[in-house]
A and B are shown apart, each in its own frame.
Chain A
Amino acid sequence: MPQLLKIEKLSESNLINTAVFAAVWGLMEISIGTFLHASKIPFRGAIMSLAAIFILVSARSVLNYKGSLILLGIVTATFRLFLGVGFNITPFVAILIESLIAEIILNRVGYSRISSVITGASVMIYTLLHGLIMQAVFLGMDIYKVYYELVLSFTNKIGLSENVVLIALLTVPVIHLTFGAISASFGYSVGRQIQKLMENEK
């Protein structure tokens, strides 16, 4: 089996700092994730993604080695797999892909507020698609047709115009992107503050 994720031996500080962020993210996944799972609140995945964006962006200020965010995501996803409640494979996949997106963007573009906001928005776009992709995997592509017909028959019955439906459907991604950007920007601010504290320590 090929080695796809070659990450060199970590220094002591990188190892501990990665473990710290993984533990914080893992704790969020287990505590908030369990609460959301039990409460059946809609958009649970989006709420967890906001936490993921915050952790990934702020972690990047400390973890500078290549593949750091992927390793962070893998450790957290493994926590979720073994310690989380409910059916854990979909959050497992989501965490892995979110960390992959963050790793690619923050490594390619560099660490700045703009790249962080792009990361936040991209992760939220994936979060929106995640549910649809997973439903296609579990139920097949026909599920889209079912949803389309259901929405169509529902809107026809209550007499909503096509424009109103379109606006309502577009509002969801816009809200997702906005919150993703806010979370990323906050994560960046926290990251900068951590960097300042580290510089002061020296």
Chain B
Amino acid sequence: MKYLIGLVVLSAIILPAKFVIALSIIVMIIYTRVDISLLRLFRRKSIYFLFTIVVILQPMIIGEQVNQFLGINYSAEALINGLGMFCRAIVIISSITLLNRRTSRENIKAFWKRRGLEEFDNVMHKAEEMLPNIKLEFNKVRIENTSIRTILKNPAELTAKIIYSFLHKPNNLITNKLNEEIK
């Protein structure tokens, strides 16, 4: 599936606008059969903003405006090009979203390991463990070391103190627990 998604993205990038329109219809039908929630993309306001710029405004300002619709002059060539651009964006965004949903953390870990990052898994695991505690500890250290005067006088020193409290030290209470786990 991931190779097929890659091929779809590549085709959307390479193919000319008129072919991308046809491709996007087929691809979106297949994608929605795989994961219907991909259609939530059309709930986003940004998609309609994009549509307004590339499909509505573009034909009115780019190319030869020889065609007319409701009294508005527009370029048919720019309209097709704009539709192609919009369809291409939809296909690429949907493809990446689908790929993201179907990729597990294990796949990502294996991917980086294959590229030579032996320690990725360990660092990721430790960082994940620290993430919930770090916010609590951060607030604790900040309250212990902070007065408005200290912050204004030397913000670098205060920030350093906060970060330093988490770093590896032989007698660090926070990291000692992690050290034991490594051993």
Please report A residues at the B interface, Cβ cutoff 8 Å.
1-10, 12-13, 15-24, 26-27, 58, 62, 71, 74-75, 78-79, 81-82, 87-89, 137-140, 142-143, 145-146, 149-150, 153, 186, 189-194, 196-198, 201
Please tell me which one of the listed residues A7, A89, A192 contacts residue B116 in the complex, with CB atoms under 8 A apart. Answer: A7
Task: Categorize the interface residue count of chain B.
Answer: 35 or more
Residues on the A chain within 8 Å of B163, using CB: 20-21, 24, 58, 190, 194
Please tell me which one of the listed residues A13, A24, A89, A146 contacts residue B100 in the complex, with CB atoms under 8 A apart. Answer: A89
Residues on the A chain within 8 Å of B141, using CB: none
Summarize B's interface: helix, strand, loop or mixed. helix
- Is B114's CB under 8 angstroms from A75's CB? no
B48 at the interface (CB under 8 A from A): no
Residues on the A chain within 8 Å of B57, using CB: 146, 150
Task: Report the minimal beta-carbon distance from A75 to chain B, rounded to whole angstroms.
Answer: 5
Residues on the B chain within 8 Å of A87, using CB: 93, 96-97
Q: Report the Cα distance A10→B126, complex, angstroms.
A: 13
Q: Which residue of B has the minimal Cβ distance to A153? A: B61
Q: Report the Cα distance A23→B137, complex, angstroms.
A: 12
Chain B positions 53 through 72: 1 when the CB is less than 8 Å from some CB of chain A, otherwise 0: 11001100110000000000
Q: Report the Cα distance A5→B130, complex, angstroms.
A: 25
- Is A26's CB under 8 angstroms from B127's CB? yes
Residues on the B chain within 8 Å of A71, using CB: 117, 119-120, 123
